[in-house]
């Protein structure tokens, strides 16, 4: 007898042998047990999930004289007759090649004849979505009111192409993709029956390549069993599938994660020069990135990924150093490249362009690219790559950043200090910051065991400490404003103090304002106490807020002079 492929040799003949699809199997078995057979069924779902297989089992079961648990017994005369190739009671029609109106008219005529061996005459129409509109119209009336002995089973992978008039006349069953665990059990069972030894990692690789299809898995397993002379290994499966070596793919992904575009391009060229497919290499890279993500976020990553120990250790080490945002960004870019490759005349250029984009986040303004760049900078800071060595040069002198508007700026250095403008546009003075030589720079080397931490704006410790005595009366007001600016309790006081002028009467600090609202606000008990506490830290133990009357405005002065120059003339002022 001629050799039969695995998927034909091990095709299920009973309902219990079907892999998953329990929801479909249960309904069909109950209908057989209760003798409630419908006249039209629609089996739809992905390829290789058991649509045609279940149709054949159901066709023999409804004609079986003594079914066992609603499955055909395979021993009665009817079952033996139906298993013969020339039987006319079960007809399989390939709609892809018999999609014309003439074939459907011929079917409509033959359906009137009664069955020969069994109780029902079953028509299995595979790929029914390939029928033409005229063919659908020809079979429509027969499908709606067929003879009592006729049962139609329509199978398709694209139910959306079937007219609604056909769909509404059928019982629809949606088949699902088969989980990987069930596919692995199926492959192990088949290999065991054929006497083929195997590695668990090899079986997992075959199941992943099958992508939920039992027929695809068995076809791949058939090739792998013929390729391997001894025990079926993971490397044998990789060779049959045509994928690149795992270590080569991991090295390419490592270069991309490290943003080493030159090395990544060289590694890609090396793999492609060996004759590997561009699409397969891209698929392998996406699979590895998916495994890195799983290893980074899942505790049971070993069970999910199910790779050889050596390969899994490589993934764990790469995942430990990889940034999550960078993994997501690279996966999205390569996923888009896989989609674009279908419409590209040069898949190689599409792949290399995507790899260049992945390895150059500085040219990508996507949010994930920016986050990845920030994470890279933070990592370099932690490793000390940006720390400046401490020198023995004298510390910087204090730089006056601002003075009052009516006073000239006193520069203590040849460097022009930058102006700092607070959000209020009415601010008319600069704020002076004190760069004391006693304060270490955040970029200076840190003693062992000590970490630098910038005080948050809302922490009380953010208020800079000051000497107990007034060392320089010219800088007190600027330091006072700086202390107010760096705490969270005094936003109102800071705003009130921005337009003040000040002077000293001995050791007493005098704040001067011509705004009554500012005067009242600063003299409120809680505000005055808070200002006193801050000034005490600056060495000022006494202060006063004074209200000065506004002087004559320029408009009033000009009007007064005009009246003096033109005495005796009535001058009418209009608003």
Distance of alpha carbon 426 from its chain centroid, rounded? 47
CA distances from 195 to 3, 7, 66, 198, 232 (A): 16, 16, 34, 10, 11
Question: 249 and 168, same structural domain?
Answer: no
Judge if 168 and 247 occupy the same domain.
no
Domain of 380, CATH number, reads 1.20.272.10
**How confident is residue 151, by pLDDT bands cut at 50, 70 and 90?**
very high
* pLDDT of the residue at 555: 65
Q: What is d(CA 542, CA 528) in angstroms, rounded to the nearest whole number?
A: 11
Strand partners, 544: 510
Q: Supply the range of the domain harboring residue 380.
A: 243-386
Residue 574: band (very low, low, confident or very high) from pLDDT cuts 50, 70, 90: low
Residue 196 has pLDDT above 60, yes or no: yes
Q: Considering the domain boundaries, does residue 439 fall inside one?
A: no
Give me the pLDDT at residue 371, please: 65
Residue 27 has pLDDT above 90, yes or no: yes
**22 within domain boundaries:** yes
Dihedral sign, Cα of residue 438, residue 444, residue 445, residue 450: positive
Task: Specify the residue for token string 């390895």.
Answer: 359
Asked whether residue 219 is assigned to any structural domain, the reply reads no
Residue range 456-484: mean pLDDT, rounded: 57
Cβ burial 185-224 (10 Å sphere, 16+ → b, else e): ebbbebbeeeebebbebbbbbbbbbbebbbbbbbbbbbbb
* DSSP label at residue 129: G
Q: Quick one: average pLDDT of 536-542? A: 83
Q: What is the CATH number of the domain that holds 541?
A: 3.30.300
C-alpha dihedral over 163, 168, 173, 174, to 10 degrees?
Answer: 50
Q: For residue 54, is pLDDT > 90?
A: yes
pLDDT the model gives residue 55: 92
Mean residue pLDDT of the chain comes to 78
pLDDT in tens, 106-125: 888 888 888 887 889 999 99
Does 168 share its domain with 248? Answer: no
Summarize pLDDT for 492-506 with one digit per residue, the tens.
677 777 778 888 888
Q: Is residue 404 part of a domain?
A: no
Residues 127 and 39 in one domain: yes
Quick one: 168 and 266 in the same domain? no
- pLDDT (mean) for 509-527: 81
Q: Which of 174, 194, 219 is the last residue of a domain?
A: 174
Per-residue pLDDT tens digits for 258-296: 888 889 999 999 888 888 888 888 988 998 999 999 998
84, 169: one domain: yes
Q: Give the lowest-confidence range in 70-79, 321-330, 479-488, 504-513.
A: 479-488
Rounded CA gap, 283 and 211, in Å? 13
- Residues 124-145 have a mean pLDDT of 88
- How far, in Å, CA of 210 to CA of 198, rounded? 17
Q: Is the pLDDT of residue 399 over 70?
A: no
Residue 31 and residue 167 in one domain: yes
Q: Is residue 552 part of a domain?
A: no
Q: Residue 442 — pLDDT band, cuts 50, 70, 90?
A: very low
Give whole-number Cα distances, 27 to 23, 34, 359, in Å: 7, 11, 53
CB–CB of 415/399 below 8 Å?
yes
| Higher pLDDT, residue 196 or 381 | 196
Clarify whether residues 145 and 274 are in a common domain: no
Cα(253)–Cα(401) distance, integer angstroms: 50
pLDDT surpasses 60 at 456: no
Contact 114, 150 (CB under 8 A): no
Specify whether 12 is located in the same domain as 139: yes
CATH code for the domain of 135: 3.40.50.300
> Is pLDDT larger for residue 2 or for residue 547?
547
User: Is it the case that residue 174 has pLDDT exceeding 50?
Assistant: yes
Q: What is the pLDDT of residue 343?
A: 86
Question: If we measure between CA atoms, which residue out of 573, 548, 490, 498 comes closest to residue 524?
Answer: 490
Q: What is the mean pLDDT of residues 317-331?
A: 87
Q: How many CB atoms lie within 10 A of CB 526?
A: 9
What average pLDDT does the segment 9-19 reach? 89
CA distance 460 to 464: 9
CA dist., res. 226 & res. 3, Å (int): 13
- Tell me the chain's radius of gyration from C-alpha atoms: 42
Residues 512 and 368 in one domain: no
Is a pLDDT exceeding 60 seen at residue 557? yes
Say how far apart CA 566 and CA 575 lie, in whole Å: 21
Place of tokens 């370099």: 380
Greatest Cα pair distance in the chain: 138
Residue at which a domain ends, from 345, 364, 386: 386
Give the span between the Cα atoms of 333 and 381, in whole angstroms: 28
Q: Which residue has the tokens 């010219």?
A: 474
pLDDT > 70 fraction of the chain, expressed in percent and rounded: 76
Total tally of structural domains belonging to the chain: 3
**Per-residue confidence (pLDDT) for residue 510, from 0 to 100:** 87
Q: Are residues 280 and 144 in the same domain?
A: no
Query: What is residue 41's predicted lDDT score, i.e. its pLDDT?
Result: 94
| Domain boundary residue, one of 151, 174, 197 | 174
Instruction: Identify whether 305 is part of a domain.
Output: yes
Please indicate, yes or no, if residue 570 is contained in any of the structural domains: no
Of 290, 344, 340, 346, whose CA–CA distance to 318 is shortest? 290
Is residue 384 over pLDDT 70?
Answer: no
Residue of higher predicted confidence among 480 and 468: 480
pTM (two decimals) = 0.57
- 466 and 346 belong to one structural domain: no
User: Is residue 97 in a domain?
Assistant: yes
Task: Show the DSSP H helices in 211-260 as ranges.
Answer: 214-227, 234-241, 246-257
Q: How confident is the model at residue 455 (pLDDT cuts 50, 70, 90)?
A: very low
Q: What residue ranges in 105-217 does DSSP mark as E strands?
A: 121-126, 150-156, 171-174
Looking at residues 398-413, what average pLDDT do you find? 40
């Amino acid at each position: 007898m001629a050799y039969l492929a695995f998927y034909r040799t091990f095709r299920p003949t009973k309902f219990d042998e079907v892999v998953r699809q329990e929801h479909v199997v249960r309904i069909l078995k109950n209908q057989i047990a209760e003798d409630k057979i419908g006249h039209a069924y629609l089996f739809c779902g992905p390829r290789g999930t058991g649509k045609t297989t279940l149709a054949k089992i159901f066709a023999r079961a409804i004609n079986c004289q003594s079914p066992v648990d609603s499955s055909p017994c395979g021993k009665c005369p009817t079952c033996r007759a139906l298993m013969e190739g020339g039987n006319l009671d079960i007809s399989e029609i390939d709609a892809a090649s018999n999609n014309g109106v003439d074939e459907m008219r011929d079917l409509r005529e033959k359906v009137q004849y009664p069955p020969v061996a069994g109780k029902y005459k079953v028509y299995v129409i595979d790929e029914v979505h390939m029928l033409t509109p005229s063919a659908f119209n020809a079979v429509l009336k027969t499908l709606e009111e067929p003879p009592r002995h006729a049962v139609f089973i329509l199978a398709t992978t694209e139910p959306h192409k079937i007219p609604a008039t056909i769909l509404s006349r059928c019982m629809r069953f949606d088949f699902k993709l088969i989980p990987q665990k069930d596919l692995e059990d199926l492959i192990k069972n088949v290999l065991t029956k054929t006497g083929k030894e195997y590695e668990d990692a090899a079986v997992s690789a075959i199941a992943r390549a099958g992508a939920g299809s039992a027929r695809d898995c068995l076809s791949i397993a058939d090739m792998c069993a013929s390729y391997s002379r001894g025990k079926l290994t993971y490397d044998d499966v990789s060779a049959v599938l045509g994928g690149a070596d795992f270590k080569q793919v991991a090295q390419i992904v490592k270069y991309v994660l490290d943003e080493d575009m030159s090395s990544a391009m060289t590694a890609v060229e090396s793999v492609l020069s060996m004759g590997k497919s561009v699409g397969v290499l891209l698929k392998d890279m996406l699979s590895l990135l998916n495994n890195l993500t799983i290893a980074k976020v899942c505790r049971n990553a070993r069970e999910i990924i199910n790779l050889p120990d050596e390969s899994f250790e490589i993934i764990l080490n790469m995942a430990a150093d990889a940034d999550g945002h960078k993994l997501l960004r690279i996966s999205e870019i390569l996923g888009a490249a896989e989609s674009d490759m279908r419409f590209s005349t040069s898949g190689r250029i599409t792949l290399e362009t995507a790899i260049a984009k992945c390895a150059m986040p500085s040219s990508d303004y996507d949010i994930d690219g920016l986050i990845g760049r920030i994470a890279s900078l933070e990592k370099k800071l932690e490793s000390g790559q940006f720390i400046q060595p401490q020198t023995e040069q004298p510390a910087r002198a204090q730089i006056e950043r601002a003075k009052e508007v009516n006073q000239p700026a006193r520069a203590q250095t040849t460097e022009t200090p930058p102006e700092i403008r607070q959000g209020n546009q009415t601010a008319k003075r600069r704020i002076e910051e004190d760069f004391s030589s006693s304060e270490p720079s955040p970029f200076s080397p840190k003693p062992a065991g000590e970490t630098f931490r910038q005080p948050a704006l809302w922490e009380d410790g953010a208020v800079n400490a000051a000497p107990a005595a007034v060392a320089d009366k010219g800088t007190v007001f600027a330091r006072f404003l700086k202390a107010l600016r760096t705490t969270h309790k005094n936003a109102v006081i800071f705003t009130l103090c921005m337009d003040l002028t000040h002077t000293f009467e001995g050791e007493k600090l005098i704040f001067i304002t011509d705004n009554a609202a500012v005067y009242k606000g600063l003299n409120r008990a809680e505000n005055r106490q808070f200002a006193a506490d801050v000034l005490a830290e600056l060495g000022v133990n006494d202060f006063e807020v004074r209200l000065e009357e506004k002087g004559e405005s320029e408009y009033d002065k000009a009007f007064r002079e005009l009246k003096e120059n033109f005495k005796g003339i009535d001058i009418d002022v209009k608003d």
